[in-house]
Amino acid sequence: MKQFTIPFTYRSPLISSIKEKRKQDDKMKKDFTPTLLDLGPVQIYLARHFGFCYGVENAIEIAFKTIEENRGKRIFLLSEMIHNPSVNKDLLERGVQFLQDTNGNILVPFETLTKNDVVIIPAFGTTIEIENKLTAIGISIEKYNTTCPFVEKVWNRSEQIARKNYTVVVHGKPAHEETRATFSHAAHNTPTIIVNDIQEATLLSKFIKGELPVNDFYSSFENKYSIGFDPEKDLQRIGVVNQTTMLATETQAIADFLKNTMVEKYQLAESMIHERFADTRDTLCYATNDNQTSVHGLLAEPADLAIVVGGYNSSNTSHLVELCEEILPTYYIDHVDRILNNTTISHFDFHHKKEMITDNFIPKKNPVKILITSGASCPDALVEKVIDKLAGYYLSEEDYIKKKDSFL
């Protein structure tokens, strides 16, 4: 896989060494067991796969290269480059301005842009409407486009099934930048609708099977369907694609459920399913799959707690938290400073969108076992700092350095 040039401050000698060794030992990526850092009184288990993915490293490389090549010019990002506060803070400190917030609210009016300005499209991509606005101003949308190739793969797959007259069902969070972008690109070619979860997929199935009146569709899926959507006509042939950072298992469950709905509705034989349902399993992101599968491997280890590191508005990170929460006390942090001391942690409850303080989060036992993973937009250097801080509560600096050196 391509090697990217990103700021060294995001790298971690410890994590890089661990990842490289695991890569050499498991070239086919079939071993999802975690890596044990045995520090004596504290044992830290690192997920097999975590941290920056291909799309994120690609976006960061392009963004920092763009800044270097355009000194003296105004440089804008459509919205956050990725959902990580450290990376976005670095970009802001280098003079980059955000045109929108993560919800699409305007921060800098597009009318103030000129053709001499540089606009970077983030890893999530953007809508066709915004692409057209920028093009009309005279701003190149290709030169500084960091859209993840795996997001573009979803768009391409949507276009392929659109040409075969399938309606696209997008599994995603309606307000998320990537879902807005995918919805726009799909809706440009075919009727499109967003479902947030299996509950909404179940509701959609009732309209497909005629169990609910057509007129109720528009209130049930308000702001989630394309202009001119006709449920009676447009739900006869469908295909499911996803926001690439959703739970892969949930996307597959939704696709399987809606496929079975079509089989039931039209009494389809196995050989005829394609007449009503498009197979789009190839749109699931490899990094999302690897990171989530690695968490399952991580959770197979008996442990006392889990720490998940990543931006609080990061979709892929929140799903890793969800998986851990099913088994263990789990603490979602976006920075090492959230670990206030060896008993107290400030962490994020993403279900209720609020920060919490928990005391006695580390049990008093020997050894204590801690599982750690991070989101796809979290720098490895931040994970190493979390490990350093935890180790510092149990080992002297000298002893920890010796232990750490043994892992390099």
Is the fold of 8-53+287-407 the same as that of 149-284?
yes
Provide the pLDDT for residue 382.
97
User: Angle, to 10 degrees, between the axis of helix 149-162 and the axis of helix 54-69?
Assistant: 110
With vertex at residue 32, the alpha carbon angle to CA 84 and CA 259, rounded to the nearest 5 degrees, is 80
Q: Choose, from 57, 131, 177, 178, the residue flagged as catalytic.
A: 178
Instruction: Specify whether domain 54-137 bears CATH 3.40.50.11270.
Output: yes
CATH class of 8-53+287-407: alpha beta
User: pLDDT averaged over the chain?
Assistant: 95
Topology of the domain comprising 149-284? Cobalt-precorrin-4 Transmethylase; domain 1 (3.40.1010)
What burial class does residue 163 get, using C-beta atoms within 10 Å of its C-beta: 0-12 exposed, 13-18 middle, 19+ buried?
Answer: exposed
Instruction: Please classify residue 70 by burial: count the beta carbons closer than 10 Å to its beta carbon, then call 0-12 exposed, 13-18 middle and 19+ buried.
Output: middle
- How do residues 183-231 score in pLDDT, each as one tens digit? 999 999 999 999 999 999 999 999 999 999 999 999 999 999 999 999 9
pTM of the model: 0.91
Q: Which two tokens stand for residue 95?
A: 């003079």
The pLDDT, as a whole number, for residue 1 is 62
Between CA 255 and CA 245 the distance in angstroms is 16
Q: Is the pLDDT of residue 107 over 80?
A: yes
Read off the pLDDT of each residue in 233-245 and give the average, rounded to a whole number: 95
The structural domains of the chain, with segments of one domain joined by +, span: 8-53+287-407, 54-137, 149-284
Q: What mean pLDDT do residues 33-54 have?
A: 96
**Mean of pLDDT values over 257-283:** 92
Is 335 a residue whose pLDDT tops 70? Answer: yes
* 233 Cβ neighbours under 8 A, 6+ residues apart: none
- Based on the residue annotation, tell me whether 152 is a catalytic residue of this protein: no
Q: Which of 102, 112, 103, 101 is nearest to 74 (CA)?
A: 112
Q: With 90 as the cut, is the pLDDT of residue 165 above it? A: yes
% of the chain residues with pLDDT over 90: 89
Give φ, ψ of 393 to 5 degrees.
Answer: -80, -10
What DSSP assignment string belongs to 389-408? HHHHTTS-HHHHHHHHHHH-
